[in-house]
Amino acid sequence: MAPDFVFWIHPDGALHDAGDSHARNVARGFEHIVQDEPDYGGFLRGRVVSQNEHQLIVVYCRAEALASSGRALMQFLRGVESIPVPIVHDALVVSDNADIDLDDLRARSESSR
């Protein structure tokens, strides 16, 4: 199944469209992040896939990156807000730490404010 959108999210939350490949379409000047697994130089790497009414957002990162409120979670949410394809409110987010839905991540970020 082809992804709806492939992305890098900069440490400040800016979204970078990776086209069809993370490795071939890294933000200019940041080519070294591909070799820095799982930290990616502070970037978050991922893709969005939809099938029927279900949507999956896969994020490649350290296991603890999205486990609690903080910088990485805010980075992810800022980037997701800029994705140019419709994102359903309860999209399943899969990262190296767990499966959780987008609503839960947003609630987690709100509780830390």
Model-wide pTM > 0.85: yes
Cis peptide before 38 (omega within 30 of 0): yes
Residue 84, token pair as written in the block:
């140019």
Angle at 75 between CA 70 and CA 81, to 5 degrees: 125
Q: Where are the domains of the chain?
A: 5-111
pLDDT block averages, 10 residues each, the chain of length 113: 94 96 91 91 95 92 83 94 94 78 80 65
In this prediction, residue 109 carries a pLDDT of 79
Cα dihedral 37, 40, 41, 45 in deg (nearest 10): -170
Angle at 26 between CA 47 and CA 74, to 5 degrees: 55
Nearest to 57 by CA among 2, 3, 1: 3
In this prediction, residue 99 carries a pLDDT of 62
